[in-house]
Chain A
Amino acid sequence: MPGITREEVAHLARLARLELTSEELDHFAGQLDDIINAVARVADVATEDVPPTSHPLPLTNVMRPDEVRPSLTAEQALSGAPAQEQQRFKVPQILGEE
Chain B
Amino acid sequence: MSDLIRLTAAELAARVADGSVSAVEVTEAHLARVDAVDEKVHAFLHVDREGALAQARAVDDRRAAGEPLGPLAGVPLALKDIFTTEGVPTTAGSRILEGWIPPYDATVTRRLKEAGVVILGKTNMDEFAMGSSTENSAYGPTGNPWDLTRVPGGSGGGSSAALAAFQAPLAIGTDTGGSVRQPAAVTGTVGVKPTYGGVSRYGMIAFSSSLDQAGPCARTVLDAALLHEVIGGHDPLDSTSIDAPVPPVVEAARNGTARGLRVGVIREFGGEGFQDGVMRRFGEAVELLTTLGAEVTEVSCPSFESALAAYYLIAPSECSSNLARFDAMRYGLRIGDDGARAADEVTSLTREAGFGAEVKRRIMLGTYALSSGYYDAYYGSAQKARTLVVRDFARAFSQVDVLVAPTTPTTAFAIGERADDPMAMYRADLCTIPVSLAGNAALSLPCGLAPEDGLPVGLQIIAPAMADDRLYRVGAAVETAFAARWGHSLLEEAPAL
Interface residues of A (CB under 8 A from B): 1, 4, 8-9, 12-21, 24, 28, 31-32, 34-36, 38-47, 50-57, 59, 62, 64, 72, 76-77, 79-83, 89, 91-94, 96
Contacts and interface: CB of A to CB of B under 8 A. Distances in A.
B387 A18 contact: no
Interface string B364-390: 110110010000011011111111101
B384 A45 contact: yes
29 contacts: A12-B367, A16-B364, A17-B351, A21-B352, A28-B364, A32-B361, A35-B422, A35-B423, A39-B309, A42-B310, A42-B384, A43-B378, A45-B381, A45-B388, A46-B382, A51-B384, A54-B383, A56-B197, A56-B390, A56-B465, A57-B197, A57-B242, A57-B439, A76-B104, A80-B332, A81-B329, A82-B329, A83-B337, A92-B341
Contacts of B303: 45
Interface in B317-334: 320, 324, 327-334
Nearest to B377: A43
A53 B383 contact: yes
A39 B378 contact: yes
Given A51-B387, A57-B439, A64-B236, A40 B378 contact: yes
Contact of B348 (A12, A17, A64): A17
B159 to A, nearest CB: 23
Contacts of B100: 80
A18 B352 contact: yes
A36 B328 CA distance: 29
B103 A80 contact: yes
B482 interface: no
A5 B154 CA distance: 30
Interface size class of B (residues with CB under 8 A): 35 or more
B385 A45 contact: yes
Contacts of B439: 56-57
A86 to B, nearest CB: 16
A76 B351 contact: no
Nearest to A73: B103
A81 B367 CA distance: 27
Contact of A18 (B104, B329, B348, B423): B348
A40 B380 CA distance: 11
Contact of A81 (B309, B330, B360, B440): B330
Contacts of A31: 361, 422
B472 interface: no
Nearest to A15: B367
A52 B380 contact: yes
A52 B361 CA distance: 25
Interface string B331-347: 11110010101111111
Given A28-B360, A45-B384, A72-B104, A59 B239 contact: yes
B47 interface: no
B343 A93 contact: yes
Given A18-B355, A77-B103, A42 B306 contact: yes
